[in-house]
Amino acid sequence: MSSDSDILLSARDLTVRFGGVLAVNQVSFDVRRGEVFTLIGPNGAGKTTVFNLISGIYTPTSGTIHYKGQPMATVPPHAVAGLGIARTFQNIELFEHATVLQNLLIGRHTHRRTSLWQDIFFAGKTRQAEIEAREKVEQVIDFLDLQHHRDSMVAGLPYGVRKVVELARALCTEPQLLLLDEPSSGLNVEETDDMAFWIADIKNLLGITVLMVEHDMGLVSKVSDRVLAMSQGEVLAMGSPAEVQSHPGVIEAYLGAVDDVSSLRRDHAAANAREAA
Amino acid sequence: MRFIFKTDYDQDVRLAKHGGHVFWYSLLGLFLVTAPWLLDEYWLAQLTFVLIYSVVGLGLMLLAGFTGLFSIGHAAFLGVGAYTEAVLAAQGWPFPLSLAMAAGLSAAVGAVVGLPALRVKGIYLGIATLAFGFIVEEGLARWESVTGGNAGKHVEPVNLFGWKADTELSFYAVCLVVTVLATLAVINLLRAPTGRAFVAIRDSEISAQSMGIHLARYKTMSFMISAALAGVGGALYAHKMQFISPDQFSILQSIDLLLMVVIGGLGSIHGAFLGAIFLITMPQLIALGKDYLPDAIAMAPGLQAVVYGLVLIAFVLFEPMGLYGRWLKIRTWFQLFPFYRKGMFKRQKSFQKSDRLK
């Protein structure tokens, strides 16, 4: 077992109820420093809800989340980024009528050191901070090969590039924990390969811990250290990608129970028999 | 086509990005400085109005165009600024101090009005600000001991520590200085983290928040700065009119202001100025056009309102990016000639945007 200092994020007995719907039920997991931890599960399993709990958009009905040993319950949503947690969204939420560069500079917001008055007069400190922010942003641009799109408006970019821009914006906050909500959704095969490559780089080169939700099992098994499978708000299985993929509960959640299938078969056989008779 | 060879990050930060900027804005500056000798008294007065409305337009542009919060009660801030200035000028305050007070008081009122903006969005915010506009107009009419009520109030000329700006020329100079300073302040704000946070809130609140932007603080800030600029514009307006009464700050004025930023082009600083030019010159153009229209139309009351309405509808339908957007298209056409494509400025469909988190 790993010691407590290895654990970056720990969720205990998370439960969320929206009216009568139990979206997340008694979910517990630990994300260790420097690993890629993936949540999988069929649609409506509650994966994105878990993300929104971590980023403070929803409050859990019961249960706790600890980040670096500190409880997250009292942290307002806008302060989460300042703690070193950045996220991307399932349906890209970029600042559409701004350039890629501006989007990435907004990612530097948590590092701003200038006051409103310094901004209004564009004092020396603001200019200096702008150039420092730009240097950091350029590092991310280099990392993700976005040079070509630097000055393009986001509204005019293809979907695949936007996905990368969103990842870049999250990296610009210099996070310790990166939450990726379906990084490969809507991407073609090549772009998905690039994404796998980048996620591995983010983990290995930048040393950022990644917590992601993903459906593409190819990507999941390529980059994940551990996988948590959810269904209908509950934990089904946790372990290495191979372990989880072969877990009977997971197969059942995705494909249906063996009983269901065999009963269908029987019906089919019986129908054939009836027809023959 | 212009290619800029960038060797330094400061090139993206500085105000003039290339030689063209330096040339054209110097020319504009030269025109504005020599305008009193180039234009006759009447057109100089119109130019002064353009400057005053530009300052107000900058404020509303920051709020509506850059933060995405619509205010249908902005004339109220104009009124607060105008009356503050009128009262303080009557007591002999020097102009810079009274102007700062007008801005400060408007900003304070803006902070109060900004509170509903933290809870309501879109059309509901519009209704809240509209109601606020009515309250202020009514307040100005009823608080007779200070405002003089519906009988109106006379405004002393600008008093700069003994020097009085009571001629058309001297007041134009005051307006020009204030406008240039206000413009620089807004431009600076927009190239700094504060302005980018506003843009982030406009485009996606949910992700602005996840980038660490305190929504309530920045929305209130935007309302305050916007109201302060409207207050400054109001103070100048009071001096220009020399006489103010509550009906100058009614819903009609608010709609004119909104019309100005929409026609000018939401989300651009140029738009505030182009909108102000439109707003001031349109009545003159209508007056000129009256000679060529049949009497039944030319003499009809409300002709101006009808023309304004038609122009607004036309812009919303055919050129949602306003006058500045039209100019961008023309400029791009020339820059890329002959490669301009029809769909270059088409907005992306926003079907991918999620509504789940809103």
- B14-36 pLDDT, tens digit per residue, is 888 888 889 999 999 999 999 99
Give the pLDDT score at A203. Answer: 94
Give the pLDDT score at B31. Answer: 96
Interface with chain B: mutation pick from A52, A91, A92, A119, highest number of B CBs within 10 Å = A119
Instruction: Mark yes or no for CB contact B196/A127 under 8 Å.
Output: no
Instruction: Mark yes or no for CB contact B209/A107 under 8 Å.
Output: no
Residue in B closest to A79 by C-alpha: B212
Q: Which of A82, A93, A127 sits opposite B207 (nearest CB)?
A: A93
Instruction: Mark yes or no for CB contact B212/A173 under 8 Å.
Output: yes
A to B CB pairs, distance under 8 Å: 126
In which band, very low, low, confident or very high, does the pLDDT at B56 lie, cut at 50, 70 and 90? very high
**C-alpha dihedral over B273, B274, B280, B284, to 10 degrees?**
150
| DSSP code, position A108 | T
End-to-end C-alpha distance for chain B, whole angstroms = 42
- Between A158 and B230, the more confident residue is B230
Distance from CA of B228 to the nearest CA of A (A): 13
Residues in chain B with CB shorter than 8 Å from the CB of A133 are 193
Q: Which of B211, B215, B348 sits opposite A155 (nearest CB)?
A: B348
Distance CA B323, CA A221 (A): 53
Q: Which of B189, B203, B354 sits opposite A90 (nearest CB)?
A: B354
Is residue B277 scored above 80 in pLDDT?
A: yes
SS (H, E, C) chain B: CCCCCCCCCHHHHCCCCCHHHHHHHHHHHHHHHHHHHHCCHHHHHHHHHHHHHHHHHHHHHHHHHHCCCCCCCHHHHHHHHHHHHHHHHHCCCCHHHHHHHHHHHHHHHHHHHHHHHCCCCHHHHHHHHHHHHHHHHHHHHHCHHHHCHHHCEECCCEEECCEEECCHHHHHHHHHHHHHHHHHHHHHHHCCHHHHHHHHHHHCHHHHHHCCCCHHHHHHHHHHHHHHHHHHHHHHHHHHHCEECHHHHCHHHHHHHHHHHHHHCCCCHHHHHHHHHHHHHHHHHHHHHHCCCCHHHHCCCCHHHHHHHHHHHHHHHHCCCHHHHHHHHHHHHHHHCCCCCHHHHCCCCCCCCCCCCC
Interface with chain B: mutation pick from A95, A111, A165, highest number of B CBs within 10 Å = A95
- Which ipTM score applies to this complex? 0.86
Averaged in consecutive runs of 10 residues, what is the pLDDT profile of chain A (277 residues)? Answer: 74 91 91 94 88 90 92 91 93 90 94 90 91 94 93 88 94 95 91 93 94 91 93 90 88 72 58 67
Residues in chain A with CB shorter than 8 Å from the CB of B185 are 120-121
Q: Does A122 touch chain B (CB under 8 A)?
A: yes
Cβ atoms of residues B264 and B272 within 8 Å: yes
Residue in A closest to B187 by C-alpha: A120
Task: Give pLDDT tens digits for B63-82.
Answer: 999 999 989 999 999 999 99
Give the pLDDT score at A64. Answer: 93
- The pTM of the whole model exceeds 0.95: no
Coil, strand, or helix at residue A75?
coil
Q: Which of A80, A102, A116 sits opposite B221 (nearest CB)?
A: A116
Q: What is the mean pLDDT of residues B190-216?
A: 93
Q: Does A1 touch chain B (CB under 8 A)?
A: no
Residues in chain A with CB shorter than 8 Å from the CB of B196 are 98, 102, 105-106, 109
Q: Does A144 touch chain B (CB under 8 A)?
A: no
Q: Does A276 touch chain B (CB under 8 A)?
A: no
Interface with chain A: mutation pick from B202, B211, B232, highest number of A CBs within 10 Å = B211
Q: Can you give the length of chain A in residues?
A: 277
Angle, helices B168-190 vs B215-241, to 10°: value is 170
Average pLDDT of chain B?
89
Task: Give pLDDT tens digits for A151-193.
Answer: 998 988 888 999 999 999 999 999 999 999 999 988 999 999 9
- β-bridge partners, B165: B158
Q: What is the CATH number of domain B23-343?
A: 1.10.3470
Interface with chain B: mutation pick from A80, A122, A131, highest number of B CBs within 10 Å = A122
Instruction: Mark yes or no for CB contact B193/A112 under 8 Å.
Output: yes
Please list, in sequence order, all residues whose beta carbon lies within 8 angstroms of the beta carbon of residue B194, skipping any fewer than 6 positions away: A116, A119, B218, B221
Residue in A closest to B267 by C-alpha: A97
Instruction: Mark yes or no for CB contact B193/A119 under 8 Å.
Output: yes
Task: Give pLDDT tens digits for B97-123.
Answer: 999 999 999 999 999 988 887 888 878
Distance CA B276, CA B280 (A): 6
Give the pLDDT score at B75. Answer: 95
Residue in B closest to A162 by C-alpha: B352
Give the pLDDT score at B304. Answer: 82
Q: What is the mean pLDDT of residues B289-306?
A: 82
Please list, in sequence order, all residues whose beta carbon lies within 8 angstroms of the beta carbon of residue A97, skipping any fewer than 6 positions away: A153, A154, A155, B199, B202, B203, B267
The domains of chain A, with CATH numbers, are 4-84+175-246 (3.40.50.300), 96-172 (no CATH)
Instruction: Mark yes or no for CB contact A102/B210 under 8 Å.
Output: no
Give the pLDDT score at B357. Answer: 43
Distance CA B314, CA B263 (A): 10
Task: Give pLDDT tens digits for B142-194.
Answer: 999 888 888 889 998 888 887 888 888 999 999 999 999 999 999 999 999 99
- Could you tell me the residue ranges of all domains in chain B? 23-343
Q: What is the identity of the amino acid at B169?
A: L
User: What are B's interface residues with A at a Cβ cutoff of 8 A?
Assistant: 9-10, 12-13, 185, 188-189, 191-197, 199-200, 202-204, 206-215, 221, 267, 347-348, 350, 352-354, 357
Interface with chain B: mutation pick from A54, A109, A113, A176, highest number of B CBs within 10 Å = A109
Q: Does A255 touch chain B (CB under 8 A)?
A: no
Distance CA B129, CA B139 (A): 15
Give the pLDDT score at B352. Answer: 42
Give phi and psi for B48, each to the nearest 5: -60, -45
* Paired tokens of A236: 């089904």
Distance from CA of B255 to the nearest CA of A (A): 25
Residue in A closest to B356 by C-alpha: A91
Coil, strand, or helix at residue A12?
strand
Chain A from 61 to 100: CB within 8 A of any B CB? 77-82, 86-87, 89-98
Q: Which helix (H) or strand (E) holds A226?
A: strand A226-231
Label the pairing between strands A62-67 and A36-40: unpaired
Q: What percent of chain B has pLDDT over 70?
A: 96
